[in-house]
Amino acid sequence: MSRPIDALLQEQRRYPPPAEFAARANVDDPDVYRQADEDFEGFWARWAEELAWFRKWDRVLEWHPPDARWFVGGRLNASVNCVDRHLATPRKNKAAIIWEGEPGETRVVTYQELARQVNRFANVLKALGVRKGDRVTLYLPMIPELPIAMLACARIGAVHSVVFGGFSPTALAQRIADSGSRVLVTCDEYYRRGERIPQKRRADEAVQMAGGIDKVVVVRRTGANVPMTPGRDLWWDELMASADPHCPPEPMDSEDMLFMMYTSGTTGKPKGIVHTTGGYLVGVHATTKWVFDLKEEDTYWCSADIGWITGHSYIVYGPLSNGATTVMYEGSPDWPDKDRLWSMVERYAVNIFYTAPTAIRQFMQWGEAYPRRHDLSSLRLLGSVGEPINPEAWVWYHRVIGGERCPIVDTWWQTETGMILITPLPGITVTKPGSATRPFPGVKAAVLDEQGQPVPPGGGGYLAILRPWPAMLRTIWGDHQRYVDTYWSRWNRQTYYPGDGAKWDEDGYFWVLGRVDDVMNVAGHRLSTMEIESALVEHPAVAEAAVIGATHSIKGQVPVAFVILKSGWEPSEALERELKEKVAQVISPIARPDRVVFTPDLPKTRSGKIMRRLLRDIVHGSALGDVTTLRNPEVAEHLRQAFETAA
Ligand code: 6R9
């Protein structure tokens, strides 16, 4: 492997936990790492004790690599853990969900009310013929009916498959067909940027394409008059009105499926990632409490969409299992203005806020004036997830949103891992901007080379997870061989391969650099696109940058940068030269972009990740592959034009 260029490792800033925060932190003893490491099964068993079980497990772990079974023999129900067990406590009338619609209305769902709704909908599903093990597809926006439907599935042992509400009918149809769902839950319309999105119409199209759906339950969100197919389509509110509010929970085996969630793979066919009940719940319960330092009185807000894994684990299951108050917002962060989220933080006195680097870079581009309009002093902890966070964005988040008083937890994990695996513990970890720091206690990770040997500190290689963890995926729906091949065959059957490139430093901190295909090789030097992007974002004109490696006859590859400018800046040749120079200075002349293309937008997936594959296609003039999972598919054509004009 060639010599790595260590721009990120030159990051010198250090942020120890603020003394006031540390004094009250849920974890204040660094010895937790050693203890968990010595007996990781015992560590996870102690967490499992915090949940309610119908029957305790016989064995914590059975590991026949790469197949793991956690809390073997145990029986529990996720809805009991997220709802029922809080009812006998002072949490009964506590807000479980504080919801705000885009037009501004609010709904507060207490644990007691949540219990009634979940029980009713569980009975509705039963009446529709849904049985334990059946898959139910949920195609809903961010409204309380989504977590209610998820927990109702969990209550009767049905498997939910949530499909992001912004996905196209084609993407939905593919997922319905692969899962074999017979029931679909959707809504009439919802609000986005002041517009009404015709969800039912899109669902109808998908049902047509996919086949197999017998019943469509429709939530009334806007009250629009939508076509209902007699015998197939039913209104949520009508079914709920006559449903019994008592539904006995199904005692699920620890290893029974809780849900599946589709995620894109390297091929065109999405993978149905399978999560089971006991281990998943233990993993998200523990990480929510420790990583977010969750306290009884906190108002917690993860601004992700429930349509991706972050929302499952850290809006629904983790917070509710901990009896927290979780905030949900339906709409767009710039509606009616670019301070919407900060206005919500102020009005609900949010204490913990968890979002993605792409959002943070967007806030930076909009400017400090928007957050400055609001009192953000309730915040005490900030989180980041989804992509490597550029140090400049980290420092901005810390200063402008966190008022320099809030620790930041940069959490690395995946749909497949189910729970956060690499993260600071905010009361004890000294953070470094751009590093997700260390594996959560009980988790063992490393940076390995091709042969599976640990690389020395400072070196680059592949991120690897060396031991099973409770919320790990168990298989890919309908394709166990793909599970073995994709995740457990890089080195050996016991080492999980996440597909991310990483470095570690002499303190044992991990620096995740992005997917391995986000690494390029320029004249024999390994460069991560993320390092070059970070250098570009350091320039005051740049709001966001995406870099790819373009094929080059001499150097192998050269960096090409796509750049979104902050408002007030105009594209120019002088600026292009300046940006190239910036990268040369920060990293090395080797990393100097061959071209800088100015663009108003970048292709983003629904979860906010830049789709670099598409940029590569544009640069190489090849056919644009599948763009159905893009949030903004129209951007592809714009970019192609921008690229060709700039050439
Ligand atoms: C939770 C989620 C997983 C991929 C993962 C990695 C990237 C997520 C990150 C991060 C660097 C972080 N990723 N968190 N990279 N630092 N803190 O995002 O799941 O949608 O499956 O994506 O996201 O590349 O492999 P998912």
Distance from the alpha carbon of residue 417 to the mean position of ligand 1, in angstroms: 10
Looking at the DSSP assignment, which residues form a beta bridge with residue 327? 98, 301
- Phi first, then psi: what are they for 618, rounded to 5°? -65, -45
Confidence at residue 2, expressed as pLDDT on a 0 to 100 scale: 38
Q: CA nearest 458: which of 496, 531, 511?
A: 511
Nearest atom (ligand 1) to Cα of 384: 17
Distance CA 203, CA 546 (A): 33
Strands, E assignment, 356-480: 381-384, 408-410, 445-448, 460-465, 475-476
Q: Is 386 annotated as a binding residue?
A: yes
Question: Distance between CA atoms of 427 and 22, rounded to whole angstroms?
Answer: 4
Each residue's pLDDT tens digit, 490-525: 999 999 999 999 999 999 999 998 888 777 778 767
Q: Say what the pTM is.
A: 0.90
Residue 157: phi, psi to the nearest 5?
85, 15
- Helix (H, G, I), strand (E, B), or coil: what is residue 580? helix
The residue to mutate among 263, 414, 513, 533, having the most atoms of ligand 1 within 8 angstroms of its beta carbon, is: 414
**Residue 459 pLDDT:** 82
Q: How remote is the CA of residue 606 from the centroid of ligand 1, in Å?
A: 13
> What spacing in Å lies between the alpha carbon of 385 and ligand 1's midpoint?
6
Residue 569 counted as an annotated binding residue: no
Q: Does 631 show up as a binding residue in the annotation?
A: no
Ligand 1 centroid to Cα of residue 515, in Å, is: 9
- Residue 342 CA: distances (Å) to CA of 120, 206, 315, 347: 35, 36, 18, 9
The rounded Å distance from CA 500 to ligand 1 centre is 9
Ligand 1 center–CA 310 separation, angstroms: 10
Tell me which residue has its CA closest to atom 10 in ligand 1: 387
Q: Which residues contact 344 (CB under 8 A, 6 or more apart)?
A: 100, 301, 327, 329, 350
Q: Which residues of 387-419 are buried (b: 16+ CB within 10 A; e: fewer)?
A: bbbbbbbbbbbbebbbeeebbbbbbbbbbbbbb
Is 6 annotated as contributing to ligand binding?
Answer: no
Tell whether residue 512 is among the known ligand binding residues: no
User: What count of other Cβ atoms lies within 10 Å of the Cβ of residue 272?
Assistant: 22
Distance 383 CA to ligand 1 centre (A): 13
Ligand 1 residue neighbourhood (C-beta within 6 Å): 263, 308-310, 385-388, 410-415, 436, 498-500, 512, 514-515, 607
> What is the 530 CA–ligand 1 centroid distance (Å)?
13
Q: How far apart are CA 482 and CA 66, in angstroms?
A: 12
> How many CA atoms, within 13 angstroms, populate the side-chain half-sphere of residue 389?
35
Tell me how many degrees the CA angle 599-603-609 measures, rounded to the nearest 5: 125
The atom of ligand 1 lying closest to the CA of 389 is 16
Atom number, ligand 1, closest to the C-alpha of residue 416: 21
The verdict on ipTM greater than 0.85 is yes
Ligand 1 atom closest to the CA of 498, numbered from 1: 25
366 is an annotated ligand-binding site residue: no
Nearest residue (CA) to ligand 1, atom 3: 414
* Number of helical H runs and strand E runs in the chain: 22, 30
Terminal alpha carbon distance of the chain: 33
Given the CA of residue 310, which atom of ligand 1 is nearest to it? 1
Å from CA of 505 to ligand 1 middle: 20
Measured CA to CA, the distance from residue 612 to residue 515 in angstroms comes to: 10
Report the C-alpha gap between 356 and 386 in whole angstroms: 6
Residue 231 gets the label, from left (phi > 0), alpha (psi -120 to 50) or beta, of left
The protein residue with its alpha carbon nearest to ligand 1, atom 1, reads 414
Q: What pLDDT is stored for residue 647 in this prediction?
A: 64
Across 405-541, the runs of DSSP E, i.e. the strands, are 408-410, 445-448, 460-465, 475-476, 500-504, 510-515, 519-522, 525-528
Q: Indicate the helix (H) or strand (E) that contains 275.
A: strand 271-276
Low-confidence ranges of the chain (pLDDT < 50): 1-5
Q: Which atom from ligand 1 is nearest to the alpha carbon of 607?
A: 20
Cα 193 to middle of ligand 1, angstroms: 27
Measured between alpha carbons, how far is residue 537 from residues 362, 436, 534, 583, 591 in Å? 12, 19, 5, 10, 15
Of 385, 415, 419, best ligand 1 pocket probe by most atoms within 8 Å of the beta carbon: 385
- In the three-class reduction of DSSP (H, G, I as helix; E, B as strand; rest coil), residue 543 is classed as strand
DSSP state of 393: H
CA-to-CA separations, 319 to 93, 300, 313, 316, in angstroms, rounded: 16, 8, 8, 6
- Give the orientation angle of helix 145-156 with respect to helix 111-127, to 10 degrees: 60
CA–CA gap between residue 142 and residue 99 (Å, rounded): 9
Ligand 1: atom nearest CA of 605 is 20
Atom of ligand 1 at shortest range from CA of 414: 19
